[in-house]
Amino acid sequence: MKLWDKGTSVDTLIENFTVGKDRELDLYLAKFDVLGSMAHAKMLKSIDLLTEGELEQLHSELIAILQVIEDGSFRIEDGVEDVHSQVELMLTRKLGDVGKKIHSGRSRNDQVLLDLKLYTRSEIQKLVEAVSVLFDKLMAKAEANKQYLMPGYTHLQVAMPSSFGLWFSAYAESLVDDLLLLQAAYKIVNQNPLGSAAGYGSSFPLDRQMTTDLLGFGSMNYNVVYAQMGRGKMEKTVAFAMSSIAATISKFAFDVCLFMSQNFGFVALPDELTTGSSIMPHKKNPDVFELVRSHCNKIQAIPYQISLMINNLPSGYFRDLQILKEVFLPAFQELLDCISIAGFAIDHMTVNKHILDDDRYKYVFSVEDVNKLVQQGVPFRDAYKMVGGQINAGTYEPSRDVNHTHEGSLGNLCLEQIADRMKDVVDGYEFRQIDAAYNQLLGKA
């Protein structure tokens, strides 16, 4: 079944190529196609394109299809082009002509736009929840290990004292900014395109505000041409925000791989979270973080893939956009898996509490000793030369005591303030509005 079928056969080779992976990928969108159809049907009733009885029949059957989807038994049949065609076919089989009325006032173009936005909105909510859990794990590790010092590095050279509290909470605060960026992308997603049809609106008196409210959108894409232009732009924007999360996790993974090596020995994982070598019996490899790093680096390439697919397209719809689903839809689960496994490993990670007892790190205290001289009245440049001279002469012995008090330093991590920032960002998503709209749409309110 094809929604555009007018009785002309299409060459099988052409059909298979143009359908591509849609039957597989559209399963991601099935639930949201049904929800969008429920809202659309209610709107059609409000403008007298459906009767009350027809709406009740459509709504009841859409609820039944939704149950099939949630049971995991929904499939797109052979010969059926996509999820939109499958849902309409199921409605028509059960309801006859009533099922055929569901497509009034919409195109597959705005259907897929809507499905993608509803799906993406749902996946963003999962990401926010998962990142929040990872944030809490990092903050807990920072609190538990804030008194244990470690070397800080510049140019991969020992530089100044840091702490495990600083290290863990640095990545926690990075996640706050990542979610802030994702929130900006979410606001672009959370605009209703339904009613734009093929990109030029409809002669039906559609009530677009009604479907916006029914689906819990914050606003709508008002201009129908821009609604279609937004496809690709929405995916690219979200992918950039996802790549920011991935970059934070990838950098953390690199640190862990480095710090677990014998030349560092700063952190450790239990044996059951490492892998071995087929010929070297002593090996305990951090494969989990190496794979997390690679997955996250792969995710960081997605916005650039999308850019190359869409950057030379004029306004209007083009089939090129279909291929976006192949790189975009699976990326959410890939990132969620990385977040989950990283959090699991962090839970089991231990730190070396006595790193700075090793004399190889004694120069990490040189700035501390320069600052102590300054506090005693020695001009900074003279104090710098005095300590530098001791180091060059091989006579430098550090005092090894550290006293940092300013905001964000190792003696004042500001964990409470970082946690407050995260709460404000997460609260700003206002997911409750969506849940309330769906409950009302499904008759659960």
For the segment 149-162, what is each residue's pLDDT rounded down to a tens digit? 999 999 999 999 99
| CATH homologous superfamily of 108-186+225-357+414-441 | Fumarase/aspartase (Central domain) (1.20.200.10)
pLDDT of residue 4: 44
Return the CATH fold of 12-103: Fumarase C; Chain B, domain 1 (1.10.275)
pLDDT band at residue 18 under the 50/70/90 scheme = low
pLDDT of residue 6: 55
Report the distance separating Cα 308 and Cα 226, nearest Å: 20
The answer to whether domain 12-103 and domain 108-186+225-357+414-441 are alike in fold is no
C-alpha dist (Å) from residue 23 to 33, 103, 208, 231, 271? 14, 20, 29, 20, 42
pLDDT of residue 2: 52
Instruction: Give the mean pLDDT of the chain.
Output: 93
For the segment 268-287, what is each residue's pLDDT rounded down to a tens digit? 999 998 887 778 888 888 89
Contact 41, 58 (CB under 8 A): yes
pLDDT of residue 13: 74
pLDDT of residue 321: 85
pLDDT band at residue 320 under the 50/70/90 scheme = confident
The pLDDT of 165-171, averaged and rounded, is 98
For the segment 78-123, what is each residue's pLDDT rounded down to a tens digit? 888 889 999 999 999 999 999 999 999 999 899 999 999 999 999 9
- Tell me which of 223 and 320 has the higher pLDDT: 223
Say whether pTM exceeds 0.85: yes
For the segment 405-424, what is each residue's pLDDT rounded down to a tens digit? 999 999 999 999 999 999 99
97: CB partners within 8 A, 6+ apart? none
pLDDT higher than threshold 90 for residue 17: no
For the segment 321-331, what is each residue's pLDDT rounded down to a tens digit? 888 999 999 99
- Give the domain ranges of the chain: 12-103, 108-186+225-357+414-441, 360-393
Report the distance separating Cα 44 and Cα 88, nearest Å: 16
pLDDT band at residue 72 under the 50/70/90 scheme = very high
